[in-house]
C-alpha cells in the first residue's frame, strides 16, 4: 500500500510443508467463502438482475416482465434529458479531471519545495476529502447562488460580479462547470496527496545527478520527474474518472437537474425515473453507467493484475 500507482502489491507465494497445512487451507477457504458468496450475490447476481430489468417492460408500479429487448435504451437515448446527461457527464468529467490534475500537481510540486508551514497547507488543501458531498453541495449552493438582479449573492457579491452574467449553476449551457468547481474543491487534495507520495518516492540522488550533469530545473522536471509520475496520473484519472461518471449526491444537494437539465447527470435522472415508477428505464440508465465505469476500470484492473503476476 505504499505505492499509489498500484492497487495491488506482490504477494510472495507460500510453500506448504506440513500435513496440518491441508486442514488450515480448508479453514482459510471457509473463512473467505462467505465474503466471496456475498459479493457474488450482491455484485454479480444483482448486476445481472438489473440487466434483466432493463430489457423488460416494468415501467409502471406493478411488476410485469414482458421482454422488450433494447426498447428502454432506445427510448432513453431519444429523450432530450438523457442526451443532456451524456453531454454533462462528458463536460463534467473532462473539466473535473483536468483541473484536479493541474491543481493537484501544482500544489504537490509547490509543497515539495521545502516551504514553511508545509503541514498546515497540506491539511488545509485536503480537509474537504473528509466531508460528505452533501455538505459540499449545501455550502457551494449558497456560494454559487447568483441572487437576483441588483441583489447579488454568494461569490457574485464578494467579487462584485453581475448576477445576470455570472449565473453559475443556473446557466443552462455552462451550469455543469459550476458543479465541477465544487467537485474540484472537494477532490483536488486527493490528487495532490497522490503526487506528493510520488514525488517523495523519487530519490533525491536522481535529481542531484541530473543537476550535476548541467540540467536546468525545468529539464529535471520534464525528463525525470514527470515520466516517473505518469503511473500516478493514470491512477488519478481512473479513480477520479469513475467518481465523476457516477456522481449523484453533489448534484442532488447543490443544483438538482437545473434549467434545461443543464446540470443533470445520469444518476439523478435514474432517481427521478424510478420515482415515476419506471423501473426498467431506470435500470437501463444504471446499466449505461455501469458500462461507462467498466470501460475505465476493467482494463485498469487487468493491467494491475498482469503486472502483479509478472512480478
**C-alpha–C-alpha distance, residues 305 and 7, integer Å:** 9
Selected binder of another protein within 105, 111, 179, 225 (CB under 8 A): 111
Selected binder of another protein within 88, 190, 210, 237 (CB under 8 A): 190
At 19, list the grid cell: 500435513
**C-alpha–C-alpha distance, residues 197 and 83, integer Å:** 39
Does residue 164 bind another protein (CB under 8 A)? yes
Residue 86 or 256 with smaller CB distance to another protein: 256
Calculate helix-pair angle for 266-275, 80-111, nearest 10 degrees.
Answer: 140
Q: Work out how close the CB of 228 gets to another protein at its nearest, in angstroms, rounded to a whole number.
A: 14
Does residue 231 bind another protein (CB under 8 A)? no
Selected binder of another protein within 72, 88, 93, 167 (CB under 8 A): 167
**C-alpha–C-alpha distance, residues 142 and 150, integer Å:** 17
Residue 56 backbone phi and psi in degrees, to 5: -115, 180
Kindly identify the residues of this chain, within the stretch 46-65, that bind another protein according to CB under 8 A: 46-47, 49-50, 53, 57, 59-62
Selected binder of another protein within 153, 161, 224, 231 (CB under 8 A): 153
Size of the site for another protein (CB under 8 A): 155
Give the interface segment with another protein, choosing from 73-81, 93-101, 208-216, 220-228 (CB under 8 A).
73-81
Does residue 256 bind another protein (CB under 8 A)? yes
Binding mask 207-226 for another protein (x = CB under 8 A): --------------------
**C-alpha–C-alpha distance, residues 59 and 1, integer Å:** 45
**C-alpha–C-alpha distance, residues 43 and 228, integer Å:** 35
Instruction: Select from 233, 264, 245 the least CA-distant residue to 81.
Output: 264
Instruction: Select from 261, 269, 302, 303 the least CA-distant residue to 288.
Output: 269
Selected binder of another protein within 90, 158, 209, 295 (CB under 8 A): 158
**C-alpha–C-alpha distance, residues 167 and 161, integer Å:** 10
Residue 209 or 301 with smaller CB distance to another protein: 301
Instruction: Select from 310, 307, 309 the least CA-distant residue to 3.
Output: 307
Kindly identify the residues of this chain, within the stretch 273-302, that bind another protein according to CB under 8 A: 273-279, 282-283, 285-287, 289-290, 293-294, 297-298, 301-302
**148 strand-pairing partners:** 151
Selected binder of another protein within 94, 161, 201, 215 (CB under 8 A): 201
Amino acid at each position: 500500500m505504499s505505492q499509489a500507482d498500484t492497487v495491488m502489491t506482490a504477494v510472495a507465494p507460500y510453500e506448504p510443508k506440513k500435513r496440518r497445512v491441508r486442514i488450515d487451507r480448508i479453514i482459510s477457504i471457509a473463512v473467505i467463502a462467505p465474503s466471496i458468496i456475498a459479493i457474488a450475490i450482491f455484485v454479480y447476481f444483482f448486476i445481472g438482475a438489473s440487466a434483466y430489468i432493463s430489457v423488460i417492460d416494468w415501467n409502471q408500479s406493478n411488476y410485469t416482465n414482458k421482454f422488450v429487448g433494447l426498447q428502454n435504451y432506445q427510448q432513453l437515448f431519444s429523450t432530450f434529458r438523457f442526451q443532456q446527461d451524456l453531454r454533462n457527464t462528458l463536460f463534467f468529467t473532462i473539466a473535473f479531471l483536468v483541473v484536479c490534475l493541474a491543481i493537484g500537481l501544482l500544489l504537490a510540486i509547490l509543497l515539495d519545495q521545502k516551504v514553511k508551514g508545509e503541514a498546515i497547507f497540506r491539511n488545509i488543501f485536503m480537509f474537504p476529502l473528509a466531508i460528505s458531498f452533501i455538505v459540499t453541495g449545501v455550502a457551494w449552493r449558497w456560494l454559487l447562488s447568483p441572487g437576483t438582479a441588483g441583489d447579488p449573492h454568494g461569490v457574485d457579491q464578494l467579487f462584485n460580479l453581475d448576477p445576470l452574467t455570472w449565473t453559475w449553476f443556473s446557466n443552462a449551457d455552462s451550469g455543469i462547470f459550476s458543479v465541477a468547481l465544487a467537485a474540484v474543491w472537494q477532490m483536488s487534495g486527493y490528487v495532490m496527496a497522490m503526487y506528493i507520495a510520488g514525488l517523495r518516492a523519487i530519490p533525491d540522488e536522481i535529481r542531484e545527478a541530473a543537476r550535476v550533469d548541467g540540467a536546468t530545473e525545468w529539464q529535471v522536471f520534464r525528463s525525470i520527474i514527470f515520466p516517473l509520475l505518469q503511473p500516478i496520473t493514470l491512477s488519478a484519472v481512473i479513480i477520479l474518472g469513475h467518481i465523476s461518471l457516477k456522481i449523484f449526491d453533489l448534484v442532488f444537494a447543490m443544483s438538482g437537474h437545473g434549467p434545461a437539465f443543464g446540470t443533470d447527470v445520469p444518476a439523478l435522472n435514474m432517481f427521478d425515473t424510478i420515482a415515476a415508477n419506471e423501473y426498467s428505464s431506470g435500470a437501463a440508465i444504471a446499466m449505461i453507467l455501469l458500462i461507462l465505469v467498466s470501460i475505465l476500470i476493467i482494463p485498469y484492473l487487468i493491467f494491475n493484475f498482469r503486472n502483479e503476476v509478472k512480478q
